[in-house]
């Protein structure tokens, strides 16, 4: 039986990888960006629009979907794919990030995390058994283990305790996935490597999780407030110790240039709310850095945001997109979301092509240099 992940090519100058991930709802060409649909929708766009943009896989969130509408409701209505009208692969985060982001509303215990709902204060509990049951109700193609994401900066002893707790939870999730038939039915379960800024803890966590033979692995605990060089250092300290024949996922980031830098470190999958969130505030991504369409200089600009980037938003001028943004029109959110998601997805398509061509190292450095120089120039102007 063929593996669920094939490594098709590697770059000679970097650790970049070209791969293919098979799931129950389709094949994913990597490296790839996953649009974020936290509550069963990628904000401002439809599933048809996502397909037209080249989205291959999207992300949902266990914590939020369990609060509303409830995972049992989703299961009764045919699972998350049918519920939201998306027939492609779906990865669901376990709610582990909420362990970090909702620190004032939760209590971490050895058997899981007790929460007060951020919506109405209702008490709930997430441990390995609960997060696996919720993700089974949702019908996720890729489920994530529950973990504890340490803050930044983080005391070493505190980080070591979080790593040990996360390892126990990952082992429990792996056992539940095997015992319930989740894995044999073709669903995947990804482990999450923590360790904050401590290279030895990250290596230890990666090696211990690799020994458990998960279908995939994520680099967790990055983009939690640390500067970019430290973030990249954490990714670089983790990926060499993950199995080469399994997909690698860096969670919750980042900018276009950060994605290319992490592809060069051997990462295959990414997700981030950034392209959709900033679209709702009039920011559009371009090869020359982000463009703030609220600026007066775009008031009569007839050009599309990016020349040659063919998507529906390209039918409209910068001037019109600025008008929609300043007027608070919903269409502006939709059009700029279409543009930004296409920009990210097209960038990953370019990365795949250059890895195959064998020139990813030089290409990505030139792309990043142009992007960061343009961003600096726009900031200064």
pLDDT single digits (tens) 220-230: 999 899 999 99
What is the per-residue pLDDT across 72-103, written as a single tens digit (0 to 9) for each? 999 999 999 999 999 999 999 987 677 666 67
- Its pTM stands at 0.97
Q: What are the structural domains of the chain?
A: 5-272 (3.20.20.105), 282-380 (no CATH)
Give me the phi and psi of 293, to 5 degrees please: -75, -5
Q: Is 268 among the residues known to form the active site?
A: no
Cβ burial of 307 (10 Å; 0-12, 13-18, 19+) is exposed
What is the per-residue pLDDT across 18-30, written as a single tens digit (0 to 9) for each? 999 999 999 999 9
Let me know the angle formed at the C-alpha of 129 by 142 and 215, rounded to the nearest 5 degrees.
Answer: 30
| DSSP secondary structure, 178-244, as one string | HHTTTTTTT-EEEEEE--TT-HHHHHHHHHHHHTTT-SEEEE-S-SSS--HHHHHHHHHTTGGGS-T
Q: Considering the candidates 93, 147, 172, 268, report the single residue annotated as catalytic.
A: 93
Q: Considering the candidates 11, 147, 172, 271, report the single residue annotated as catalytic.
A: 271
Q: Is 147 among the residues known to form the active site?
A: no
Question: Would you state the pLDDT for residue 1?
Answer: 40
Question: Would you state the pLDDT for residue 346?
Answer: 98
What is the per-residue pLDDT across 346-366, written as a single tens digit (0 to 9) for each? 999 999 999 999 999 999 999
Give me the phi and psi of 52, to 5 degrees please: -60, -30
Question: Would you state the pLDDT for residue 53?
Answer: 98
């Amino acid at each position: 039986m063929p593996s669920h992940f094939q490594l098709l090519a590697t770059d000679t100058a970097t650790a970049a990888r070209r791969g293919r991930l098979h799931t129950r709802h389709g094949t994913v060409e990597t490296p790839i960006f996953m649009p974020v649909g936290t509550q069963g929708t990628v904000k401002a766009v439809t599933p048809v629009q996502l397909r037209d943009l080249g989205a291959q896989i999207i992300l949902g969130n266990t914590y939020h979907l369990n609060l509303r509408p409830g995972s049992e409701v989703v299961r009764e209505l045919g699972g998350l794919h049918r519920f939201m009208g998306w027939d492609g692969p779906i990865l669901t985060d376990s709610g582990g990030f909420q362990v970090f982001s909702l620190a004032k509303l939760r209590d971490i215990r050895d058997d899981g995390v007790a929460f007060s709902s951020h919506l109405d204060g209702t008490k709930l509990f997430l441990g390995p058994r609960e997060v696996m049951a919720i993700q089974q109700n949702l019908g996720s193609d890729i489920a994530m283990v529950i973990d504890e994401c340490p803050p930044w900066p983080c005391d070493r002893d505190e980080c070591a305790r979080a790593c040990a707790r996360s390892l126990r939870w990952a082992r429990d999730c792996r056992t539940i996935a095997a015992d319930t038939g989740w894995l044999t039915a073709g669903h995947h379960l990804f482990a999450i490597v923590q360790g904050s800024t401590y290279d030895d803890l990250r290596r230890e966590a990666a090696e211990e999780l690799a020994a458990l033979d998960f279908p995939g692995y994520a680099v967790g605990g990055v983009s939690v407030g640390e500067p970019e060089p430290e973030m990249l250092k954490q990714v670089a300290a983790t990926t060499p110790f993950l199995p080469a024949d399994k997909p690698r996922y860096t969670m919750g980031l980042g900018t276009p240039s950060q994605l290319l830098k992490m592809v060069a470190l051997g990462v295959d999958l990414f997700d981030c709310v950034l392209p959709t969130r900033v679209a709702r505030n009039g920011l559009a991504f371009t090869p020359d850095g982000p463009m703030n369409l609220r600026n007066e200089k775009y008031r009569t600009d007839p050009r599309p945001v990016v020349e040659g980037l063919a998507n529906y938003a390209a039918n409209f001028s910068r001037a019109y997109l600025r008008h929609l943004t300043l007027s608070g029109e919903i269409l502006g959110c939709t059009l700029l979301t279409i543009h930004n998601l296409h920009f990210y997805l097209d960038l990953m398509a370019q990365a795949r092509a250059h890895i195959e061509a064998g020139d990813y190292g030089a290409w990505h450095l030139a792309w990043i240099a142009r992007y960061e120089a343009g961003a600096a120039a726009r900031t200064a102007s």
